[in-house]
């Protein structure tokens, strides 16, 4: 299963790069825009990294590029001065919405003929695997301290 997940991840990233390229983005930039867009509250770089399973350093570099492209902006964070909140600009919202529309059509085509129950089981298994990996990673980080 792990090898299948690695393969699917690689193929999804390649497909994401192709989808995002129509908007001049990479799948990583699209992921970060999506994390910010879909969040129910303002997020910091470390929070985006945790939600997306990415490293803080890679998200920081991606956010810097998105700021330079004027797709996101950084806002003061009263709880942590050195970790600002990341917010989509109007241009960022428009780019994300455009990719999201294309992605929805692509997913519908990709899932055609698959049973909804099978997709639900797959999502559940991947969700549980992610939770277990997050827990194991947190334990390792704690032990390293």
Per-residue pLDDT tens for 117-145?
999 999 999 999 989 998 998 888 888 88
Identify the CA nearest to 16 among candidates 3, 25, 4: 25
Output 134 or 48, whichever has higher pLDDT. 48
Domain map of the chain by residue range? 28-112
- How is residue 70 annotated by DSSP? T
In terms of C-beta density within 10 A (0-12 exposed, 13-18 middle, 19 or more buried), how is residue 39 classed? Answer: middle
The answer to whether 38 touches 86, Cβ cutoff 8 Å, is no
Lowest mean pLDDT among 1-10, 24-33, 132-141: 132-141
For residue 137, what pLDDT is reported? 84
34-63 average pLDDT score: 93
Q: What is the pTM of this model?
A: 0.84
Over residues 98-120, the mean pLDDT reads 94
Q: What is the architecture, at CATH level 2, of domain 28-112? A: Orthogonal Bundle (1.10)
At 142 the pLDDT is 86
Between CA 87 and CA 77 the distance in angstroms is 12
d(CA 72, CA 25): 13
Once rounded to an integer, what is the mean pLDDT over residues 23-48?
94
The predicted pLDDT at position 127 comes to 92
């Amino acid at each position: 299963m792990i090898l299948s997940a690695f393969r699917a991840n690689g193929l999804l990233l390649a497909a994401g790069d192709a989808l995002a390229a129509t908007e001049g983005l990479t799948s990583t930039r699209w992921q970060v825009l999506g994390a910010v867009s879909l969040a129910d509250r303002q997020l910091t770089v470390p929070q985006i990294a945790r939600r997306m399973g990415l490293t803080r350093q890679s998200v920081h570099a991606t956010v810097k590029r998105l700021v330079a492209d004027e797709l996101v902006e950084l806002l003061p964070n009263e709880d942590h001065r050195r970790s600002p909140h990341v917010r989509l600009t109007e241009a960022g919202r428009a780019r994300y919405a455009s990719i999201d529309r294309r992605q929805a059509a692509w997913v519908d085509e990709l899932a055609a003929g698959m049973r909804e129950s099978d997709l639900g089981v797959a999502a559940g298994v991947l969700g549980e695997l992610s939770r277990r990996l997050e827990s194991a990673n947190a334990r390792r980080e704690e032990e390293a301290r």
